[in-house]
Chains A and B, each alone.
Chain A
Amino acid sequence: MSNYSYIVWIPLLPLLTFLLLGLFGRRYVKNFSGILGSASLLVSTVLSLLAARQYFLQDGQLNGVYQKIIAFKFTWLEFSPNVSIDISAVIDPISVMMLVVVTFVSLMVHVFSLGYMKGEERFATYYAYLGLFTFSMLGLVLSGNLFQIYMFWELVGVSSYLLIGYYYYKPSAVAASKKAFIVTRFADLGFLIGILVLAFYGQTLDISMLIERLTSTQSAEFTGITTAGFLGVSMLTWGLSLVFIGGAGKSAMFPLHIWLPDAMEGPTPVSALIHAATMVVAGVYLVARLFPIFSVDGVSLQLVTYVGAFSALLAAIIACTQTDIKRVLAYSTMSQIGYMMFALGVSKQGGESGLGYMASMFHLFTHAFFKSLLFLGAGAVIHLVHSNDMKDMGGLRKLMPVTHIAFLVGCLAIAGVPPFAGFFSKEEILLAAFHSNKLIFGVALFTAALTSFYMFRLYFSIFWNKEAAHHPHDHGEGTFSMKFPLVILAICAVVVGFVPFAHFVTSDGVALETHMDLGFSAVPVGLSLLAILLASVMYRVANDKPDKVAGTMGGLYKAASRKFYMDELYLFITKKIIFPLVGQPIAWIDKNIVDGLMNWLAAVTAKISELIKGLQSGKVQNYALYFFGGVAALGVLFIYIWK
């Protein structure tokens, strides 16, 4: 086993950047902070690529199976010989894959922000937050201990809060950051309880030991957790479902997805980072991390499947109706994450039946590239147009050729058109779904078509449709630092599909042979192409067809454009049910009983001191009399009464 200790520098470098820029950035290194952040992340990226090369190509395998290597471990809190909170860096196929994805996308975002955020007042602070976010995500990815995951999980929540609320002077940004924080925090409560349930029955917080104990049907822990139950459901299902709720919160699965579209209030590169590589995939990563345990519990796996599929479909429908380009991308992210989730859900542990797991990770991998590409492209467009709304765009293909091509590549990739990256991963997912659950397969197929439709609706609305309006502050397409990441990511979006992913990342570490079935691929690709054609008919040139279609759809269109009234539902539940029925009584108790008790104590103390303060009169002779009285009383007491 060779030395991987340099792995710890991958998360530590962004942390150092965060500390440096956070403490001194605004005063001392203001103008260099972007360069500094990007440089440190470049080192991290190079280290990650080296680690990936070393792990996947040189010495990760033992007898054809990829091993789990602990690069670094430090016991932080030891509760008992078994249960301890460790800070560790664990290397296995998915963590190495995530390292590459996170550092690479983060690097692209850093570079892109050099141009996009130029001239911002809090430029250094922005880079400090980016560093913190990257650090949190990398730490999360490397965790070998459930509690470490939880800590970094919360760090991700905090840093996303900071980044979404970056424009803190905008009330909508403040509201969005609060919403993201509260919703994910609420889900994290489930995660925490889930961790405690698993750790209680598994008697450990270490993930590999937990997996070992809870998957072997002979072990005492497995018997314990499956026989114990609550409300007729075994504790294993409870624990896993609660953990999944945490993952669903971060990954914006229905019904905890409401924070994701609002999170678009942050700077666009931040959206790229949150949506492509870091926060939202954390939930998928968590489920994948614990997948061996999920795979023994059919019920929670079903939950994962159906929640994922429903989210994918719902988000795709909503995305067709949105006009804010970032919101369209946000819903498409939610939809793609749903894909990854149900791919995990239909998978099994090991061998050929572990195809879904591989497909999910593969899709996560490819999605990171084309989604960050799309977001950065959208960022470039917004940078030019100074608006998020499709109506303000159109005909931009001549104004920004590089962005146009890059965006088109991204759209083709997400639509699953061969030979772009999304095609390969989506095919695997569809194949996995086809083999296990026909209903899910149908939903996935329909969603894939919808995806192509709304992505090309977006593409045509931005770059074609009408003639380019004249923009007053015409500063061209953007700086080199903005175009460069687009080009790199566009190239990636083309080539990463050819990575022999199944050889590297599988559920059990054994390489999996995949083969393209042209007959099978024909249906989804055909559907995608049809959808693209439909989008081009409707949106390529300005006409009244979209409005007509919207008119015929009637209520469905309206409901979808209002996001199926989810926000209203949440507001109704919180404002009309939770606040008056739970909050107000508790507030009353707090105000009148808890505070009242304290006030009463204070009042009684004040009364008593008012009564007895006369004793402290300042008159020496009174004191002498009291003293004599006390001595005499004690004398009488001890001499005559208490002999």
Chain B
Amino acid sequence: MNSIPLTHILFVSTALFCIGMYGLFTRRNMITMLMSIELMLNSVNINFVAFNKYLWPEKLDGIFFTLFIITIAAAEAAIAIAIIINLYRSHNSIDVEDATELKY
């Protein structure tokens, strides 16, 4: 079963994290920025599970971290969407380039 070395899984998660990061940097729509953040969170989850399985198979700590991260991601998504909707209401747009009042 362990035919795949840990490093390969880690590489996949790193790549996924970087994809999310790229989306976060370039996407101007706030909903897609939120999606990018979800991708990054998922890549971290993969890491936790993989470490748990490959390095400390007798323990469950990685699993619990994953579970809590999923919970918090759900809360975060809900809050983010509430903020997005409020922003849409006030600016009639959810483009982050349109919401730059907080500056010098």
A and B physically associate: yes
Chain A residues in the interface with B (C-beta under 8 A): 613-614, 616-621, 624-625, 628
B-chain residues with CB within 8 Å of residue A618 when the two chains form the complex: 99-103
Complex: chain B residue closest to A614, CB-CB: B104
Nearest B residue to A609, CB-CB: B104
Q: Which residue of B lies closest to A617 (CB)?
A: B103
Q: Is the CB of B104 within 8 A of A621?
A: no
Residues of B within 8 A of A619 (CB): 96-97, 100
Given A625-B25, A628-B21, verify A620-B103 contact (CB < 8 Å). Answer: no
A621 to chain B: which residues have CB within 8 Å? 24-26, 28, 96
Chain B: minimal CB distance from A384 (Å): 75
Given A619-B96, A619-B97, the answer on whether A624 and B103 have CB atoms closer than 8 Å is no
A-B contacts, 12 listed (Cβ < 8 Å): A617-B100, A617-B103, A618-B101, A618-B103, A619-B97, A619-B100, A621-B24, A621-B25, A621-B26, A621-B28, A621-B96, A624-B24
Would you give the shortest CB distance from B83 to chain A, in whole angstroms? 12
Report, nearest first, the 9 A-B pairs whose CB atoms are least far apart: A618-B103, A618-B100, A613-B104, A616-B104, A620-B96, A618-B102, A616-B103, A619-B100, A617-B103
Tell me the nearest residue of chain B to A619, going by C-beta. Answer: B100
- In whole angstroms, what is the CA distance A621 to B24 when docked? 7
Q: How far is the CB of A347 from chain B (nearest CB, A)?
A: 78
Residues in chain A near residue B103, CB distance under 8 A: 616-618
Chain A residue at minimal CB-CB distance from B102: A618
Summarize A's interface: helix, strand, loop or mixed.
helix
- Please report the C-alpha to C-alpha distance between residue A385 and residue B7 in the assembled complex, in whole angstroms: 114
Nearest CB in chain B: distance from A629 CB, A = 11
User: Contacts A621-B28, A621-B96, A624-B24 given; 15 further ones with Cβ under 8 A?
Assistant: A614-B104, A616-B103, A616-B104, A617-B100, A617-B103, A618-B99, A618-B100, A618-B101, A618-B102, A618-B103, A619-B96, A621-B26, A624-B25, A625-B25, A628-B21
Residues on B with C-beta less than 8 A from A616 are: 103-104
- Give the shortest distance, in Å, between A410 (CB) and chain B (any CB): 79
Residue of B nearest to A620 (CB): B96
Distance in Å: Cβ of A630 to nearest Cβ of chain B = 14
Scoring B residues 23 to 36 as 1 if CB is less than 8 Å from chain A, else 0, what string do you get?
01110100000000
Kindly report which residue of chain B lies nearest to residue A621, judged by CB atoms.
Answer: B25
Query: With A and B bound together, what is the CA distance between A619 and B104 in angstroms?
Result: 11
Shortest B102–chain A CB gap in Å is 5
Inter-chain contacts of B100 with A (CB < 8 A): 617-619
Chain A: minimal CB distance from B9 (Å): 21
